[in-house]
Amino acid sequence: MSFSLTLPDRVKVVEVGARDGLQNEPDPVPAPTKVEFIDRLSGTGLACIEATSFVSPTWIPQLADAGEVFRAITRKPGVSYPVLVPNERGMERALEAGADTIAIFNAASDSFNRKNINASIDDAFKRLARVAEIAQAENVAIRGYVSCVLGCPYEGEIDYGVVARVAATMDAMGCYEISLGDTIGVGTPLRACRMLEAVVRDVSLDKLAVHFHDTRGQALANVLASLEFGVRTVDASVAGLGGCPYAEGASGNLATEDLVYMLHGMEIDTGIDLEALIAAGRYITGQMGRAPASRLGRLPEGRRRHRYTT
């Protein structure tokens, strides 16, 4: 018997815990703690750390301190720090704080969008067109997110053709990367690949990232299937922080530590120091008075490393 897995030598991991994770915390996390958390993440070898979100503080009070946090972090050369921007007001605030990379977002579901950003898909794109125009004029790089790519909390099944259309519009708006989000963690490897198959008809595979919430324990399997499909960029959240306040029941993202353990164990380079990453996850969950949700983060130090002998 033999087997064949078509896997890359290197994967880019995008850390979203400081934004996707902390946006959903019921208790406030003080700005200096967020800054210390992001600075610790910068010391792990991560090349992309989503730092915060310039959305309405009425909608997401947890990140109302976005400007204060972004100004205070120590930006490491070679690391990018995208910030979420929903509209022109958010773009102004991001520019004032000195952001040079933003992330715009839209869903493949009108119902989800109305709850999350108070707009239909098309109306959100009208706002985002203005954001993209300003970003281009100011030389700011744009990342894009498509939410609900494998299911919607309000509409149920999602037409992958709509996912492809939203992703293609972001591509045309100049996004350097488009992250496909399973916001409520309903996907399976088969569905993830069917969705990717639809999207790559319109958007080049090398521009795509995947973003799986781990609500039903499928995230790591979905990543493996996406890697075999040819995706090379994966979003994750240290300590499994996260969720979306406008998607009831959505749990945290795939935990970055567990992802990196799998990648390194498959001889895939990430440039990340796993122990430093675990320490960053333990730091932020310790500040919040709880244990990390990652499997690796909960293992005692002596049991984290495993040496393969064959």
Task: Show the tokens assigned to 3.
Answer: 């087997």
3-state secondary structure of 293: coil
Position closest to Mg ion via CB:
20
**182 near Mg ion, judged by CB under 5 A:** no
Smaller CB distance to ligand HMG: residue 235 or 257?
Answer: 235
Q: Give, as one character, the DSSP assignment of residue 78.
A: T
Closest contact distance (angstroms) between CB of 205 and Mg ion is: 21
3-state secondary structure of 183: coil
Other beta carbons less than 10 A from residue 121's beta carbon: 20
Residue with tokens 């996260």: 242
Contact in structure between 39 and 265 (CB atoms under 8 Å): no
What is the rounded CA–CA span in Å between residue 238 and residue 254?
8
**Which span sits near Mg ion by CB under 5 A: 16-24, 89-97, 184-192, 287-295?**
16-24
Other beta carbons less than 10 A from residue 310's beta carbon: 2
Task: Indicate which single residue of 34, 207, 211, 298 sits in contact with ligand HMG (rule: CB under 6 A).
Answer: 211
Q: Give, as one character, the DSSP assignment of residue 271.
A: -
| Residue 246 interface partner, choices Mg ion, ligand HMG, none, CB cut-off 5-8 Å depending on type | ligand HMG
Q: How many residues bind Mg ion (CB under 5 A)?
A: 1
3-state secondary structure of 278: helix
Residues 247-276 that bind ligand HMG (CB under 6 A): none
**258 near Mg ion, judged by CB under 5 A:** no
Mask of contacts with ligand HMG, 172-201, x by CB under 6 A?
---------x-x------------------
Task: Indicate which single residue of 34, 93, 282, 298 sits in contact with ligand HMG (rule: CB under 6 A).
Answer: 93
Contact in structure between 160 and 143 (CB atoms under 8 Å): no
Q: 110-117 vs 121-137: helix axis angle to the nearest 10?
A: 60
Mask of contacts with Mg ion, 128-157, x by CB under 5 A?
------------------------------
**214 near Mg ion, judged by CB under 5 A:** no
Closest contact distance (angstroms) between CB of 145 and ligand HMG is: 4
Closest contact distance (angstroms) between CB of 40 and ligand HMG is: 21
Torsion of CA 129, 130, 131, 135, to 10 degrees: 100
| Residue 114 interface partner, choices Mg ion, ligand HMG, none, CB cut-off 5-8 Å depending on type | none
Smaller CB distance to ligand HMG: residue 240 or 282?
Answer: 240
